[in-house]
Structure 1
């Protein structure tokens, strides 16, 4: 069992002044929303206004000074934000991948619980000192993009065993299971899961097979304080083969709410233990329609 180290980290990206202005403008728009809500609800009898919550002020300072390219478009960011805004507090948000949007997600959900999971363990101490209110853990993903075919074949063989949709991932031997997170995370009812990692830009990178599979299992086995309305799962870069194949198999077409640019939005509900319609490969009611040869 691998240990999960605590490490907030932003991936390096190329700079661009025009994109930087877009990010800053977008974040300021969100900030004004928070400020309006804060001012409208604070105690008017207080002698002086309270400072902004740490996650919000931290993110404001970062985006006002950072020269970084966002990984998501403004429309994609707004799609996630609209769900977080409607989430009943406290909202449980799990994010796979630490990107330029990480502090934004943390600030937009500052009244709830936000946890990040990423593949890179270096730079933990330095970034943790800068953003001590960000909770993140590193996972050593054993998958590779080049192994997609064999991983899908193994999943099909084990769909009624180690890779079944209803299980405790902590004890799973499925190759696609993320099972080295802190124990408490498997008992949380995650309201929103954002998958923007691990990296999948080359055959030797981990790919997002395990994060998409694990998100599908977490949503269907949802427990803890989570409600019964389903888990919102966002998958970025849906045009790539790994993301396309794995969302078809583990999140399912019938659960797709919308696609915004390269972001897929799924709502996956808890799966009952009784009978009912037969699931394809244990996860979906509908047969996957992906053109990939792996399905």
Structure 2
């Protein structure tokens, strides 16, 4: 009896896979257990076993050398898929902006990824860096509690920012001083722009990617991103070796525009897509004696 001749009620599962030299057919039939695999020669027609004995004979004679395995999707990725499939909330970044960072993550993950800000896109960033470590820094404690309740797998910490948007001009002048251009660990820096109260692991980890999408920064009295941008650049320079990809969102605003150019350096900018800028900053501790910004 050929496969096509089997009554529909006798055939529960029919699945094919291929390698370089042969194909395999898997069949679930109520009369016999599922064989590991049945090899099919491309030049011949494979007949189905008619009873259990014949099925056992076929299984012994056609065992696959390498058993096929089923790789189950991790639960964290499954939750992310379900969340974004059912969510009606649009992330702050556009698809084109997200794609800039995701392309770098695709090359570097699993890696160390630091994100200033905890938002509707945080689960996505953590999932795209599956197997790596992604840490989120957030100014709003109540928002952290909400997100942790929904997504307890995300690692986030509360941080405070002392400077406000209306102090940006003064801090830009401060940042030009020698104490701010000297490369070192931000927590021990004499520069007023350096963030010194972050969790210890934030300073200890050597980051592959850093994204600045917080604090708020959208009105004069709001915490500004001046210190976050400066600290991200200093962490990249202070790394013992290698390069750090730094991303700044909302560069359509004055603070993000000016501070990213000044402290992440236009010479290190790789790309701008919409409101997102991508910088690639090399280590300044690798013996190369680089200036703060490339000439």
* TM-score of the two chains, using structure 1 as the length reference: 0.72
State how far apart, in whole Å, the 2-side matches of 1:173 and 1:85 are.
36
Tell me the residue number matched to 1:267: 280
Tell me the residue number matched to 1:60: 81
Structure 1 counterpart of 2:211, from 194, 215, 229:
194
Larger Cα Rg: Structure 1 or Structure 2? Answer: 2
State how far apart, in whole Å, the 2-side matches of 1:123 and 1:239 are.
25
2:294 pairs with 1:285: yes
Tell me the residue number matched to 1:151: 171
Aligned pairs, number: 230
Q: Which has the higher strand share?
A: 2
Shift of 1:199: 1.1
2:255 pairs with 1:242: yes
State how far apart, in whole Å, the 1-side matches of 2:123 and 2:288 are.
43
Shift of 1:165: 4.2
Higher relative contact order (CA 8 A, sep 6+): 1
Q: Unaligned 5+ residue runs, structure 2?
A: 1-65
How has the CA–CA distance of structure 1 residues 273 and 238 changed in structure 2, closer, same or farther, with 3 Å as cutoff? same
Native 8 Å contact 1:96 1:197 kept in 2? yes
Q: Unaligned 5+ residue runs, structure 1?
A: 1-42, 287-295
Tell me the residue number matched to 2:199: 182
Tell me the residue number matched to 1:36: none
State how far apart, in whole Å, the 1-side matches of 2:75 and 2:130 are.
9
2:237 pairs with 1:220: yes
Tell me the residue number matched to 1:69: 90
Tell me the residue number matched to 2:222: 205
State how far apart, in whole Å, the 2-side matches of 1:155 and 1:136 are.
28
State how far apart, in whole Å, the 1-side matches of 2:67 and 2:124 are.
28
How has the CA–CA distance of structure 1 residues 220 and 264 changed in structure 2, closer, same or farther, with 3 Å as cutoff? same
Q: Provide runs of 4+ in structure 1 moved above 4 Å.
A: 43-46, 273-277
Native 8 Å contact 1:165 1:216 kept in 2? no
State how far apart, in whole Å, the 1-side matches of 2:238 and 2:83 are.
36
Structure 2 counterpart of 1:139, from 146, 159, 162:
159
Tell me the residue number matched to 1:160: 178
User: Residues 131-169 of structure 1: CA distance to partner in whole angstroms, max 9, x if unpaired?
Assistant: 12100111110111111111112222xx322x2341111
CA RMSD of aligned residues (A): 2.1
Tell me the residue number matched to 1:27: none
